[in-house]
Amino acid sequence: MSRGGRDKERDDPERRCVVTGEVQPKFGLIRFVLGPDNMIYPDLAQKLPGRGIWVTADKELITKAATKGLFARAAKTAVTVPDGLADIVEQGQAIRVVELVSMVRKTGRAVIGFEKVKGWLSEGRAKVLLQASDGSERGKGKLWTPEGGRWFGCLTASELGLAFGRDHAIHGALATGGLTQRVIEEAAKLTGLRKQCGEILAGKDTKTA
* pLDDT one-digit tens code per residue, 25-82: 999 999 999 999 999 999 999 999 999 999 999 999 999 999 999 999 999 999 999 9
Dihedral sign (CA 112, 115, 120, 126): positive
Can you tell me the mean pLDDT for 92-98?
A: 98
Residues 77 and 96 in one domain: no
Q: In the predicted model, is pLDDT for residue 5 greater than 50?
A: no
Spell out the alpha helix ranges (H) of 36-148: 59-67, 70-75, 85-106, 114-123, 137-140
| pLDDT > 90 fraction of the chain, expressed in percent and rounded | 87
Q: In the predicted model, is pLDDT for residue 197 greater than 90?
A: no
Residues 60 and 126 in one domain: no
Residues 106 and 151 in one domain: yes
Tell me how many degrees the CA angle 92-21-76 measures, rounded to the nearest 5: 75
Local structure of residue 80 (DSSP, 8 states): B
Domain that holds residue 98: 89-201
More confident residue, 9 or 154: 154
Whole-angstrom distance, CA of residue 126 vs CA of residue 152: 13
Can you tell me the mean pLDDT for 102-125?
A: 98
Residue 207, domain member (yes or no): no
User: How confident is the prediction for the chain on average, in pLDDT?
Assistant: 90
Residue 1, domain member (yes or no): no
| pLDDT > 70 fraction of the chain, expressed in percent and rounded | 88
Q: In the predicted model, is pLDDT for residue 9 greater than 90?
A: no
Closest to 58 measured CA to CA, from 12, 96, 95, 18:
18
Report which residue type is found at 197.
C
Query: Are 68 and 15 within 8 A, CB to CB?
Result: no
Whole-angstrom distance, CA of residue 24 vs CA of residue 30: 12
Question: Could you say which of 68, 83, 98 is where a domain stops?
Answer: 83
Residues 93 and 111 in one domain: yes
What is the pLDDT at residue 202? Answer: 36
CATH number at residue 134: 3.30.1330.30
Can you tell me the mean pLDDT for 102-131?
A: 98
Residues 44 and 138 in one domain: no
Can you tell me the mean pLDDT for 5-21?
A: 75
Q: In the predicted model, is pLDDT for residue 161 greater than 80?
A: yes
Residues 117 and 146 in one domain: yes
Report which residue type is found at 103.
M
Residues 79 and 93 in one domain: no
What is the pLDDT at residue 11? Answer: 67
Q: In the predicted model, is pLDDT for residue 106 greater than 70?
A: yes
Of the candidate ranges 119-133, 157-171, 185-199, the one whose mean pLDDT is the lowest:
185-199
CATH number at residue 37: 3.30.1230.10
Burial of 89 (0-12, 13-18, 19+ CB in 10 A): buried
Closest to 52 measured CA to CA, from 61, 41, 63:
41
